[in-house]
């Protein structure tokens, strides 16, 4: 039900026009005709933070006037539906770019953002630690294996030098050959490089898994125009 | 909650700056700083300094919607909309702003397509919420692992958390997956047939057997395009096939870049705890340490199936594995009733049987007139001659046409073939027809599946049943997925009988049928379990009648009795017999290349020298051994449960 409602509303309510009528007084009424109509824009963004299997959404707004970000409280003013004939809008693309730039800064100060980052940090650090430890252990084991094989080879060679018995010599030669092949294969394997590449691959995989995806989508643009109290906004 | 706090109470000339807003978190803001956001988002603004907590290794991926341009265009065109719609739009947004994973939001969309089994939902939530969707789902056979995985998938798609999904299955299960995803989850998955399919397909279904192909000359996987894609979710069915790290299959999966990985198998390890290590190595590198550390910590040298530190291993497993037994769920146990059908051969038929045995025992010579390894001959030919005349004739023809055999062997085989031609009655098929008639006479609506090992026998059975005006559907390996589906639907909706070979029937859901006839029987009980498992599934509402034809005075009589009566129908629930055989080490392949039980039976036959009494005694020994295994299983069930459950 809710999903259907959202779907049907998706393409509507994206643009609204308000005329500010609040704080009106006699003075303003008298001067209204003399003052050129001015406007400011409110960009409302729908921000989705997606990380792991969690998704959080919130709205965030930026007010822009004359290509500058402004701060404003709309509740101080009464508004009514505006008339499109009464205004001229010529720089909305620029305003949009400014708003977009500003929204990024705002998001990074949000508690939700920090919560997500904290959670990701905690998990990712653990995962990266696991991967680093695993590959370090593997590398150490391989070093040890290579070292042992070398020691054994040297022992076998020394035994061969002192051996007189034919059967024993054949046996030792066989073992030497085996050890040499083992050492060769370990060296050819270039395990350090291989393990390093593997480690990088899996660390990268984890980084992607624990990434924070921020999707910023324009939810609504509202134009507010007015005849007075301009100084209050700037 | 937002509270407006006035600085100077009762002051009529109150300015905007004098009013402060206190957010839920006690954070004060001047009213001019309060925005729409504060009304809908109870979020605190964090002081700038705390930005330090962002560590450099966290990837932050920003994206902007393409829809923005449309809104901008509307403004340029001065196309404004009703402000009440905006207010209305904000209401449902409030409900959706927090999407915590404590429930399956997508479940209402699929619940009508599924039988309600709470363990499936619970499993899906645990995988999503607690395991970050990197898990081994090891529920016992028949608990619906595919459904649980489908729930995870549907939820992730519903929440728009995944874009690219890959499901890897054995080739025979591809169609079942596609159908289930469509029917139960309304998801369209596409098969990967060529290497170019990877780029254009969002939801991919591929046969691991096919895509794992490694080109040794080019030193790369033929389907290496799959490794260039970053997958949001990968599901591997029958993941126990990834038990060996040295295989191309394992390496192919390992090379895939993946955010989430779900491995499905009822038997994470079959023979050796190292298989479990290899699976977990794929899932989470280093979770069980390096191989040598794992061996040192968990493996007993003399027993690869029982860990050294079961509790410690269990704790490690629980972090990544979900395993539920049938008795932990609402899935019912289906009673199996063994019905052995005796077949009495005619004198002529029996003579042929005796002659073939003689051929194998005495006249089986190579071209140099040397005796061929009798064991190997027995292993390859014996099961065929006892199962059906058709497969037996095929084997004899192969001997006649093969130059490696000595002339005397060929002549002996030729003689047997001549005798076959003289036979007018096939006792086994006659008995089959009687059984089918008997079942259908009791209930015309009932359905029967007849299994045979050999395509030639299948054709023969069909040729004998069709003239009886029975609606028969044939099912065998090599059928296209579309054709397979068509035939299963035909069996489900119209036909009375499905005749199938083992190849191609893996993964079939035939719970609407409760009669299975084994025309011939694999000597490997695991394969017989697989056959029965097609019927013994969620949704089966009746007792399962397990018929098996057993030719009197032949070894088949003893074998059928052992496998069907003493192993598959002894009151164990689906999935338990394989565990018992695993525990006993009888599930694997023996020296001959056959399954170990099969090998035991063959050896017993060879040692009996065609003396059926002696053979029967050996079978009794196997039975005793199995019984001991069952007893041991019951005793060690708790131990197993402590480790895996």
> Are A181 and A227 part of one and the same domain?
no
A53 close to B (CB below 8 A): yes
Q: Per the structure block, which two tokens stand in for B90?
A: 């904000």
Helix (H, G, I), strand (E, B) or coil at B82: coil
> Are A17 and A108 part of one and the same domain?
yes
Burial (0-12, 13-18, 19+ Cβ within 10 Å), B532: buried
Query: In sequence order, which residues have a C-beta less than 8 Å from that of residue B602 and are 6 or more positions away?
Result: B375, B378, B379, B382, B523, B592, B594
The DSSP secondary structure of B86-146, one letter per residue, reads HHHHHHHHHHHSEE-TTS-TTHHHHGGGS---HHHHHHHHIIIIISTTEEEE-PPTTS-HH
- Decide if B132 and A57 are in contact by the 8 Å CB cutoff: no
> Are A72 and A92 part of one and the same domain?
yes
In the stretch 114-143 of chain B, residues with CB closer than 8 A to chain A read 128-129, 132-134
Query: In sequence order, which residues have a C-beta less than 8 Å from that of residue B292 and are 6 or more positions away?
Result: A141
Measure B331 CA to nearest chain A CA, in Å.
29
> What was the pLDDT predicted at B26?
45
> Are A62 and A21 part of one and the same domain?
yes
Mean pLDDT of A147-168: 89
**What's chain B's length in residues?**
645
Q: Round to whole Å and give the CA distance between B588 and B592.
A: 11
Please choose, from the candidates B629, B11, B584, the residue with its C-alpha nearest in 3D space to the C-alpha of residue B306. Answer: B584
Q: Round to whole Å and give the CA distance between B58 and B51.
A: 13
The answer to whether B603 touches B373, Cβ cutoff 8 Å, is: no
Strands B299-300 and B303-307, by their bridges, are antiparallel
- Which chain B residue has the Cα nearest residue A62? B35
A181 found inside a domain: yes
> What was the pLDDT predicted at B375?
65
Q: Round to whole Å and give the CA distance between B491 and B87.
A: 56
3-state secondary structure chain A: CHHHHHHHHCCCCCEEEEEECCCCCHHHHHHHHHCCCEEEEEEEEEEEEEECCEEEEEEEEEEEECCEEECCCHHHCCEEECCHHHCCCCCHHHHHHHHHHHHHHHHCCEHHHHHHHHHHHHHHHHHHHHHHHHHHHHHHHHHHHHHHHHHHHHHHHHHHHHCCCHHHHHHHHHHHHHHHHHHHHHHHCCHHHHHHHHHHHHHHHHHHHCCEEEEEEEEEEEEEEECCCHHHHC
In the stretch 131-150 of chain A, residues with CB closer than 8 A to chain B read 131, 133-135, 137-138, 141
> Are A87 and A33 part of one and the same domain?
yes
Q: Is pLDDT of A31 > 50?
A: no
Helix pair angle (B273-283, B248-255), 10° resolution: 30
Q: Round to whole Å and give the CA distance between B316 and B278.
A: 14
Report in angstroms the alpha-carbon separations of B93 from A27, A41, A165, B268: 41, 22, 89, 43
B34 close to A (CB below 8 A): yes
Domain count, chain A: 2
pTM of the full structure: 0.62
Cross-strand bridge partners of residue A49 = A56, A214
C-alpha of B218 from chain center: 32
A1 found inside a domain: no
CA angle in degrees (0–180, nearest 5) for A143-A144-A145: 90
A129 found inside a domain: yes
Where on the phi/psi map is residue A105: left (φ > 0), alpha (ψ -120 to 50), or beta?
alpha
A23 found inside a domain: yes
> What was the pLDDT predicted at B9?
45
Cross-strand bridge partners of residue A81 = A18
A8 found inside a domain: no
Cross-strand bridge partners of residue B205 = B167, B191
Q: Is pLDDT of A29 > 50?
A: no
> Are A91 and A195 part of one and the same domain?
no
- Decide if B80 and A138 are in contact by the 8 Å CB cutoff: no
Mean pLDDT of A150-160: 91
A71-83 per-position pLDDT tens digit: 887 777 788 888 8
Query: In sequence order, which residues have a C-beta less than 8 Å from that of residue B438 and are 6 or more positions away?
Result: none
All residues of chain B having their beta carbon less than 8 Å from the beta carbon of residue A124 are: 55, 57-58
- Decide if A221 and B44 are in contact by the 8 Å CB cutoff: no
Query: In sequence order, which residues have a C-beta less than 8 Å from that of residue A140 and are 6 or more positions away?
Result: none
Helix (H, G, I), strand (E, B) or coil at B407: helix
Mean pLDDT of A116-138: 91
Q: Per the structure block, which two tokens stand in for B364?
A: 């089986």
> Are A202 and A228 part of one and the same domain?
no
Report in angstroms the alpha-carbon separations of B286 from A48, B232, B293, B559: 33, 22, 10, 45
Domain that includes residue A172, residue range: 121-209
- Decide if B58 and A121 are in contact by the 8 Å CB cutoff: yes
Phi then psi for residue B103, to 5 deg, are -150, 160
Q: Is pLDDT of A200 > 70?
A: yes
Phi then psi for residue B263, to 5 deg, are -105, 130
The answer to whether B535 touches B513, Cβ cutoff 8 Å, is: yes
- Decide if A214 and B289 are in contact by the 8 Å CB cutoff: no
> Are A68 and A179 part of one and the same domain?
no
The answer to whether A205 touches A134, Cβ cutoff 8 Å, is: no
Q: Round to whole Å and give the CA distance between A170 and B369.
A: 39
Please choose, from the candidates B242, B272, B237, the residue with its C-alpha nearest in 3D space to the C-alpha of residue B254. Answer: B242
Q: Round to whole Å and give the CA distance between B262 and B30.
A: 50
A2 found inside a domain: no
> Are A17 and A132 part of one and the same domain?
no
Nearest to A134 among B82, B88, B286 (CB): B286
A6 found inside a domain: no
Report in angstroms the alpha-carbon separations of B82 from A36, A45, A75, A77, A85: 25, 18, 19, 19, 16
- The torsion angle over the Cα atoms of residues A66, A70, A76 and A81, rounded to 10 degrees, is 40
- Decide if B129 and A133 are in contact by the 8 Å CB cutoff: no
C-alpha of B427 from chain center: 37
Measure A66 CA to nearest chain B CA, in Å.
16
A227 found inside a domain: yes
Where on the phi/psi map is residue B144: left (φ > 0), alpha (ψ -120 to 50), or beta?
left
Query: In sequence order, which residues have a C-beta less than 8 Å from that of residue B269 and are 6 or more positions away?
Result: B240, B243, B275, B276, B279, B305
**What's chain A's length in residues?**
234
> Are A136 and A176 part of one and the same domain?
yes
The answer to whether B131 touches B317, Cβ cutoff 8 Å, is: no
Measure B305 CA to nearest chain A CA, in Å.
24
Helix (H, G, I), strand (E, B) or coil at B595: strand
The answer to whether B498 touches B475, Cβ cutoff 8 Å, is: yes
Sign, Cα dihedral of A146, A152, A153, A158: positive
Q: Round to whole Å and give the CA distance between B65 and B624.
A: 69
Report in angstroms the alpha-carbon separations of B266 from B125, B570, B636: 19, 21, 18
B82 close to A (CB below 8 A): yes
> Are A21 and A94 part of one and the same domain?
yes
Sign, Cα dihedral of A88, A94, A97, A98: negative
Residue numbers of chain B with a pLDDT score lower than 70: 1-56, 91-100, 141, 172, 270-271, 302, 365, 369, 371-380, 383, 386-387, 504-507, 575, 579, 582-583, 585, 587-590, 592-593, 595, 634-645
> What was the pLDDT predicted at B432?
95
Measure A20 CA to nearest chain B CA, in Å.
14
Picking from B285, B287, B288, B297 by the largest number of A CB atoms within 10 A of its own CB, the best residue to mutate is B285
The answer to whether B540 touches B334, Cβ cutoff 8 Å, is: yes
Measured distance between the N- and C-terminal CA atoms of chain A, rounded to whole angstroms? 44
> Are A191 and A223 part of one and the same domain?
no
């Amino acid at each position: 039900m809710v999903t259907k409602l959202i779907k049907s509303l998706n393409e509507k309510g994206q643009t609204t026009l308000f005329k500010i009528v609040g704080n009106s007084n006699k003075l303003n009424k008298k001067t209204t005709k003399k003052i050129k109509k001015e406007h400011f824009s409110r960009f409302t963004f729908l921000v989705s933070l997606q990380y792991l299997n969690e998704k959080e959404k919130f709205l965030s707004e930026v007010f822009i006037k004359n290509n500058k970000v402004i701060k404003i409280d709309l509740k101080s003013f009464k508004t009514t539906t505006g008339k499109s004939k009464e205004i001229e809008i010529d720089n909305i693309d620029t305003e949009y770019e400014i708003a977009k730039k500003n929204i990024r800064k705002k998001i990074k100060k949000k508690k939700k953002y920090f919560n997500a980052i904290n959670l990701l940090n905690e998990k990712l650090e653990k995962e990266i630690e696991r991967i680093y430890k695993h590959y370090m252990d593997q590398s150490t084991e391989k070093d040890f294996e290579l070292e042992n094989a070398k020691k054994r080879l040297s022992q076998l060679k020394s035994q061969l030098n002192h051996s007189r018995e034919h059967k024993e010599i054949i046996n030792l030669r066989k073992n030497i050959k085996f050890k040499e092949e083992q050492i060769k294969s370990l060296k050819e394997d270039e395990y350090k490089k291989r393990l390093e590449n593997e480690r990088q691959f899996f660390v990268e995989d984890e980084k992607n898994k624990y990434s924070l995806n921020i999707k910023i989508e324009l939810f609504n643009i509202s134009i507010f125009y007015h005849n007075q109290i301009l100084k209050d906004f700037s | 909650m937002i509270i407006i706090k006035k600085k100077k109470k009762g002051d009529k000339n109150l300015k905007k700056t004098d009013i402060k807003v206190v957010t839920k978190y006690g954070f004060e803001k001047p009213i001019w700083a309060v925005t729409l956001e504060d009304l809908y988002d109870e979020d605190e603004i964090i002081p700038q300094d705390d930005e330090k907590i962002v560590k450099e290794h966290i990837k932050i991926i920003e994206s902007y919607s393409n829809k923005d341009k449309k809104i901008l265009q509307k403004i340029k065109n001065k196309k404004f909309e009703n402000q009440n719609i905006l207010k209305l739009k904000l209401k449902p947004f409030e409900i959706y702003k927090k999407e915590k994973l404590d429930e399956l939001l997508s479940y209402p969309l699929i619940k009508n397509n599924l039988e309600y089994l709470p363990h499936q939902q619970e499993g899906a939530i645990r995988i999503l919420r607690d395991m970050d969707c990197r898990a081994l789902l090891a529920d016992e056979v028949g608990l619906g692992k595919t459904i649980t995985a489908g729930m995870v998938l549907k939820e992730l798609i519903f929440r728009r958390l995944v874009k690219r999904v890959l499901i890897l299955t054995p080739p025979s299960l591809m169609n079942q997956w596609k159908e289930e995803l469509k029917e139960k989850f309304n998801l369209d998955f596409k098969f990967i047939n060529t290497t170019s399919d990877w780029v254009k397909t969002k939801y991919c279904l591929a046969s691991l057997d096919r895509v794992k192909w490694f080109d040794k000359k080019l030193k790369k996987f033929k389907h290496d395009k799959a490794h260039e894609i970053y997958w949001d979710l990968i599901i591997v069915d029958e993941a126990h096939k990834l038990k060996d790290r040295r295989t191309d299959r394992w390496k192919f999966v390992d090379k895939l870049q993946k955010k989430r990985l779900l491995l499905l198998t009822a038997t994470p390890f079959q023979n050796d705890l190292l298989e479990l290590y290899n699976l977990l190595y794929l899932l989470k590198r280093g979770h069980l340490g390096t191989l040598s550390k794992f061996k040192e910590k968990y493996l007993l040298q003399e027993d690869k199936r029982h860990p050294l530190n079961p509790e410690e291993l269990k704790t490690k497993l629980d972090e990544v594995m979900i395993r539920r037994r049938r008795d932990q769920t609402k899935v019912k146990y289906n009673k199996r009733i063994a019905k052995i059908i005796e077949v009495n051969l005619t004198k002529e038929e029996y003579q042929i049987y005796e002659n073939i045995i003689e051929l194998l025992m005495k006249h089986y010579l190579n071209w140099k007139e040397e005796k061929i390894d009798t064991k190997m001959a027995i292993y390859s030919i014996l099961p065929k001659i006892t199962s059906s005349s058709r497969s037996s004739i095929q084997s004899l023809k192969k001997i006649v046409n093969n130059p490696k055999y000595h002339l005397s062997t060929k002549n002996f085989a030729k003689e047997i073939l001549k005798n076959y031609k003289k036979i007018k009655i096939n006792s086994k098929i006659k008995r089959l027809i009687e059984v089918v008639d008997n079942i259908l006479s009791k209930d015309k609506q009932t359905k029967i599946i007849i299994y045979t090992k050999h395509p030639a026998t299948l054709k023969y059975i069909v040729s004998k049943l069709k003239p009886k005006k029975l609606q028969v559907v044939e099912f065998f390996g090599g059928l296209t997925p579309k054709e397979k589906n068509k035939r299963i639907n035909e069996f489900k909706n119209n036909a009375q009988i499905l005749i199938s070979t083992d190849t191609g029937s893996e993964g079939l859901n035939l719970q609407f049928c409760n009669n299975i006839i084994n025309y011939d029987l694999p000597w490997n009980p695991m394969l017989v379990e697989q056959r029965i498992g097609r019927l013994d599934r969620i949704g089966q509402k009746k007792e399962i009648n397990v018929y098996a034809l057993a030719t009197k005075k032949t070894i088949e009589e003893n074998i059928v009795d052992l496998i069907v009566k003493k192993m598959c129908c002894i009151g164990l629930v689906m999935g338990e017999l394989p565990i018992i055989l695993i525990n006993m080490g009888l599930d694997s392949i023996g020296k001959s290349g056959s399954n170990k039980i099969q090998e035991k039976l063959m050896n017993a036959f060879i040692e009996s020298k065609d003396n059926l009494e002696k053979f029967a005694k050996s079978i009794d020994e196997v039975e005793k051994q199995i019984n001991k295994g069952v007893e041991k299983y019951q005793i060690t069930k708790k131990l197993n449960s402590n480790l895996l459950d």
